Structure 1
Amino acid sequence: MEQTKEYIQTWDLDQIFTGGSQSQSLKETISTLTKEMSQVDESIELFNPAKASANDLAGIINQLGPLQKQLRDVFAYIGCLSAQDVNDSDAAVLVAKSGDLSAKMGAVSTKLNQKLKEINDEAWTEMIQSQELKEIAFSLSEARRKAKEMLPIDQEVLINDLAVDGYHAWNQMYETIVGSMFVTVEEEGESKQYSMGQASNMMSNSDRNVRKKTFDLIQQEWQRNAPLFGQSLNHLAGFRLQVYKHRGWDDVLREPLENNRMQKETLDAMWTAIEQNKEPFVAFLSRKAQLLGVEKLSMYDIGAPLGKSETKVSYTQGANRIIEQFQKFSPQMADFAKMAFDNRWIEAEDRAGKRPGGFCTSFPNKKQTRIFMTYSGTESNIATLAHELGHGFHQHVMNDLPIQNQRYAMNVAETASTFAEMILADAAVRQAASKEEKVALLEDKIRRGITFFMNIHARFLFETNFYEERKNGMVPVERLNELMVNAQKEAYCDALDEYDPMFWASKLHFHKTGTPFYNFPYTFGYLFSLGIYAHALEQGNDFEDEYIALLQDTGRMTVEDLAKKHLNVDLTKPDFWEKAIHLCIEDINEFMQLTE
């Protein structure tokens, strides 16, 4: 009976706040939050680092924690409103308001952290070993260490305040422009308008003419707005570089590595292992070109399915498949997914006016999550849905931890999501009904690896080179296109025919101000989850509890310590990374044999 239940494709946000962008309860919450933040600010003002006890600090933390949870709920809710309808002007006003709130909270946290750095080391060590604080010792020590690397308090608060209408506003402008963009495609004699997100879904169409035509239209639309995006990208990068300069930081990777609780040696070991193992992936691209009947693939061919079959999988079928496969690895994961579908935590409807892409956002106060994507029935959509549910599950197992220990970095956030995606991909390959189906599914799985090893490598190379040039002044659009294509050629080892010069404009991640270098953490998460997946296959039934324990530790230690504790591996050495890459190469070998 359960199997026949149809799941609804739109989310229910009323469980969080009622009334959408006109919500009265949201307005009241924002007003209360603002007042309570001022009260915490006063408490911090009175906090004397020279005389403070663990009890005094715990008092402030206990005041601050619930506000941080509530603010996260407000922030996530407004993000959901603006994503579901890019033309909702009231939501745009709320986005600006949430930026102000965030800056206020940033200033409060900065002030507290600056006071923490004034506590002498001996008193500090004693303080964080106390009963009241030892559970959040990692988070507090991290905040104190970062405060020591910052500018004096009044300057950091000023940067925070100016960033609202300076730095972060460039990102908002980018999203507003993208929301108003569309392409007009001729289909069966009539013109159809597609949002940029809907149009990019057409890159998985089996007809090369459709892909090429749509790709060209998409390029034209990005080119039309390139001067605007060139300005916004240059300005947000300029702002970032100025802040770094004043803090005395000379490496643009310093902040992203800090944010990801990761050493430079780990990042280098990962990219080195990838660069030394690209040959099989190049061979795969060459074989795929042969199977599609072209000499060399172009960027718009990478997502093309092999074979004509484009069976659409209904949303409910996709949901049931995800629940069924999660069940085999972790019943708790399956229960979580079922709850998300049952309670309408997912916005998946295929309609115009939604922003492109997918995300999972959390409401720690309500202990809920929401997932956003556009579902059109493809295998790739099911993978995205599983991916976002993986994020949701990660948050779900953290819900009862102190809010300070729920702040896990993006690289480990991408681990749970990629792990969930892998469960689905692997099961699909195993259950393939024919050789053709197996080839198509293996291709889909390998293609995801190519995204992490080549596409994201190109993003990392582009961003590294762009920031280097930006230090000397504005980088014009033509040069941005050139840097983008050069990065793609290097990352794809010259294996493609046509590249995507406008990718710097179309990829939202380059324009995200909250997260600098929004690229390498994905590749880290993918490979780290492959390592965990291999471990899971060895462990069998004992795995679920171990996996949940690992996820729960993601907010309270560095990634190197996490890997050592739970997998007994050293991430600064290439061995772990190579082992994980070889799992992908095994898939390629099987694909090559099947397509000989």
Structure 2
Amino acid sequence: MSFFNGWSVGGRPVLAAGEPAAAGTRPDYGDLPEWNLADLYPGMDAPELQRDLEKAEAASVAFSEEWKGKLQIAAGNGQLGQAIVEFETLEELLGRIMAFASLTYAGETANPDKAKFYGDVQQRLTDASSHLLFFALELNRLGEDELDRAYAGDKTLARYRPWVDDLRKEKPFQLDDQIEQLFHEKSLTGRAAFNRLFDETMTALRFEVDGQSLPLEPTLNLLQDHERAKREKGFRALSATFSEHLRTFVLITNTLAKDKEISDRWRGFEDIADSRHLANRVERDVVDALTTAVREAYPRISHRYYAMKAKWLGLDRMEPWDRNAPLPETPNAIIGWDEARNTVLSAYHGFSPDMASIARRFFDQSWIDAPAREGKAPGAFAHPTVPSVHPYVLLNYLGKPRDVMTLAHELGHGVHQVLAAEQGALMSQTPLTLAETASVFGEMLTFRSMLDRTTDRRERKAMLAQKAEDMINTVIRQIAFYTFERAVHAERANGELTSGQIGELWMKVQAESLGPSIHLVEGYETFWAYIPHFVHSPFYVYAYAFGDCLVNSLYAVYQNAEAGFQDKYFEMLRAGGTKHHSELLAPFGLDASDPAFWQKGLGVIEGIIDELESMDG
């Protein structure tokens, strides 16, 4: 686990994003902020950046010369803690450089100079960090007795015990040093290269709608338009362009699935998702229990909701372009940036003034990039960068209610990352399953705050419906995505998959999760192609469902709690990666290994659908 080789980026599940209208017709969102990356480095050509690149390269070599082959001796003479301190300092430096390159690229992925800069920095840091690979491998070769004696005599080492214990979970799956180095160095021409091919291909795609050539995000945004004809045009344009480029996406999928299978086989992972479970520090049976509970809830949640929505829209059944359609009751007014900011900060303040104070810094100190720009990375995320700096948030803000929820979500990540930073570069990173806790909790606070202020019955119905859809998209859809991924990776073990085979797997899983009220027409079989999580982070998606169900249960505890909940909540966030999910949830009386835990979370979604159903009476 390192900021260079595995820093986490919190983001929203990819559903349908937005983009401004055509030039000259863009709504007035107010003064949208753009981030200032100078807290990392002044620019791509900054002498400070060049100095740090050279320093990182030289220091990595020096670290290897000082400690390689000597950790057993260091453990015996009380110097192992000092070695970890030096390693953490290097990881922080590498992470700072990589964060700047990544954010620079994300802000303008279509810019060839920034793409080259990102690639060049990635290459130099991969070369530098190859000198550090020995450290974790050699540390894991120490015996338990040796480590126990070292902890007793080295206070510095004792502080890092959670990190060392966490690292040793990877011991059964690590390979010989030379093989690990080969995997590391070839990653740029293997997995990372296909990741970048996906990103740059997706950024370059154009979709023809009514004579306009649109990028991905404005076309996806049409799927949320009030006019059904526009939604269908957006769907047809998406399907046509995805079909045209399907050979590329099939090649990427086949290559990355095989690449993962090779790595998993060499490392000795039994199940195709076990490497993700290890990275998430969550047990396979916990994820299996979540998956089973959600799939069993499809009829009670998504099938029932979409049947209701079809009726609200006056349809016997919906087409795929109707799934995210706004209800007739949904206000069409644009929400300005100032209103969105105040809404989220007010909701955060109602929970904790300290939480609002941290979130306000993102606005006041230019830590947010909000405008939707040509060539900018789609979607939204919160990047923790490194503990010595601060997180940055990327949005594509379009003034819709869901954009306000996205802002609340990413600021939840940001608050979490600020609080966890005190653990340092090695222990501040939270596994993905728990990394979604603060973000989804921030959304829930904002939603409940907005709902409590709503007195109009039609507006309340629209808000509840939007929340139900967000929860379905976060829980039901993401478990469906996870099921699809498992099917693709399992079938890839038998040979390359054709576009037809992948499309068939996609349609089967979608039919199961969406239910009979949505007619899956021809063309929808290509819609797996644009989901970046499948490419960048295989099996990532179940973390969203984990986080949403967890927060539903956590919020119920908050509603019924006496004083002290906020303190326990902040302690959970401050822990970063130093505790297992069982330790973090215990103070709230929650246990993710208990199958009933997931039923509680799903019950919250059912309760919202129940209320919507009663409003039709």
Instruction: Give TM-score, length-normalised by structure 1.
Output: 0.94
Question: Quick check: 2:294–2:479 contact (8 Å CA) kept in 1?
Answer: no
Question: Quick check: 1:198–1:356 contact (8 Å CA) kept in 2?
Answer: no
Amino acid in structure 2 at the alignment position of 1:508: P
Partner of 1:475: 497
Secondary structure at the counterpart of residue 423 of structure 2: coil
Partner of 1:161: 185
1:306 aligns with 2:327: yes
Partner of 2:363: 341
Secondary structure at the counterpart of residue 404 of structure 1: coil
Q: Using the TM superposition, name which of 466-475 and 27-36 deviates more.
A: 27-36
Partner of 1:136: 160
Q: How much does 1:98 deviate?
A: 3.5
1:27 aligns with 2:50: yes
Spell out, residue by residue over 1:367-422, the C-alpha distance to the aligned partner (whole angstroms, 9 max, x if none).
31111111010001111111111110000101222222112111111111111111
Cα 1:101–1:55, aligned 2, differ >3 Å: closer, same or farther? farther
Q: How much does 1:284 deviate?
A: 1.4
Amino acid in structure 2 at the alignment position of 1:107: S
Amino acid in structure 2 at the alignment position of 1:154: Q
Once the two structures are superposed, the pairs formed by residues 404-443 of structure 1 within 5 Å of their partners are 404-443=426-465
Spell out, residue by residue over 1:216-255, the C-alpha distance to the aligned partner (whole angstroms, 9 max, x if none).
1011111111101111111111111111112232311110
Once the two structures are superposed, the pairs formed by residues 267-346 of structure 1 within 5 Å of their partners are 267-281=287-301, 282-307=303-328, 309-346=331-368
Spell out, residue by residue over 1:542-571, the C-alpha distance to the aligned partner (whole angstroms, 9 max, x if none).
22211110112240122233223x223332
Amino acid in structure 2 at the alignment position of 1:39: A
Cα 1:286–1:504, aligned 2, differ >3 Å: closer, same or farther? same
Partner of 1:116: 139
Q: How much does 1:54 deviate?
A: 6.6
Secondary structure at the counterpart of residue 455 of structure 1: helix
Secondary structure at the counterpart of residue 376 of structure 1: coil
Partner of 2:615: 594
Amino acid in structure 2 at the alignment position of 1:455: R
2 CA distance for matches of 1:126 and 1:374? 52
Partner of 2:126: 103
Unmatched runs of 5 consecutive residues or more in structure 2: 1-28
Question: Quick check: 1:69–1:363 contact (8 Å CA) kept in 2?
Answer: no
1:171 aligns with 2:201: no
Q: Using the TM superposition, name which of 9-18 and 442-451 deviates more.
A: 9-18
* Among 222, 239, 249, the residue aligned to 2:259: 239
Partner of 2:527: 503
Question: Quick check: 1:81–1:91 contact (8 Å CA) kept in 2?
Answer: yes
Once the two structures are superposed, the pairs formed by residues 335-484 of structure 1 within 5 Å of their partners are 335-484=357-506
Question: Quick check: 2:441–2:555 contact (8 Å CA) kept in 1?
Answer: yes
1:209 aligns with 2:229: yes
Once the two structures are superposed, the pairs formed by residues 557-596 of structure 1 within 5 Å of their partners are 557-564=579-586, 566-596=587-617
Partner of 2:100: 77
Question: Quick check: 1:326–1:420 contact (8 Å CA) kept in 2?
Answer: yes
2 CA distance for matches of 1:128 and 1:197? 52
Secondary structure at the counterpart of residue 427 of structure 2: helix
Amino acid in structure 1 at the alignment position of 2:351: F
Partner of 1:182: 206
1 CA distance for matches of 2:405 and 2:344? 9
Q: How much does 1:127 deviate?
A: 2.3
Cα 1:261–1:365, aligned 2, differ >3 Å: closer, same or farther? closer
Spell out, residue by residue over 1:434-456, the C-alpha distance to the aligned partner (whole angstroms, 9 max, x if none).
11100100001000111123211
Aligned length: 584
Cα 1:108–1:258, aligned 2, differ >3 Å: closer, same or farther? farther
Partner of 2:22: none
Partner of 1:65: 88
Question: Quick check: 2:423–2:576 contact (8 Å CA) kept in 1?
Answer: no
Amino acid in structure 2 at the alignment position of 1:503: F
2 CA distance for matches of 1:237 and 1:51? 40
2 CA distance for matches of 1:295 and 1:212? 17
Q: How much does 1:167 deviate?
A: 1.5
Question: Quick check: 1:82–1:91 contact (8 Å CA) kept in 2?
Answer: yes
1 CA distance for matches of 2:77 and 2:527? 50
Secondary structure at the counterpart of residue 115 of structure 1: helix
Partner of 2:544: 522
Amino acid in structure 1 at the alignment position of 2:180: E
Q: How much does 1:101 deviate?
A: 4.4
Unmatched runs of 5 consecutive residues or more in structure 1: none
1 CA distance for matches of 2:77 and 2:615? 64
Question: Quick check: 1:280–1:585 contact (8 Å CA) kept in 2?
Answer: yes
Higher relative contact order (CA 8 A, sep 6+): 2
Cα 1:526–1:168, aligned 2, differ >3 Å: closer, same or farther? same
Question: Quick check: 2:111–2:375 contact (8 Å CA) kept in 1?
Answer: no
Partner of 2:564: 542
Question: Quick check: 1:536–1:543 contact (8 Å CA) kept in 2?
Answer: yes
Question: Quick check: 1:73–1:364 contact (8 Å CA) kept in 2?
Answer: yes
Question: Quick check: 1:58–1:132 contact (8 Å CA) kept in 2?
Answer: yes
1:196 aligns with 2:229: no
Q: How much does 1:540 deviate?
A: 5.0
1:219 aligns with 2:239: yes
Instruction: Give TM-score, length-normalised by structure 2.
Output: 0.91
What value does the CA root-mean-square deviation take over the aligned residues?
1.9
Q: How much does 1:476 deviate?
A: 1.0
1 CA distance for matches of 2:612 and 2:76? 63
1 CA distance for matches of 2:81 and 2:279? 24
Q: How much does 1:46 deviate?
A: 4.5
2 CA distance for matches of 1:183 and 1:210? 13
1 CA distance for matches of 2:603 and 2:164? 38
Q: Using the TM superposition, name which of 347-356 and 170-179 deviates more.
A: 347-356
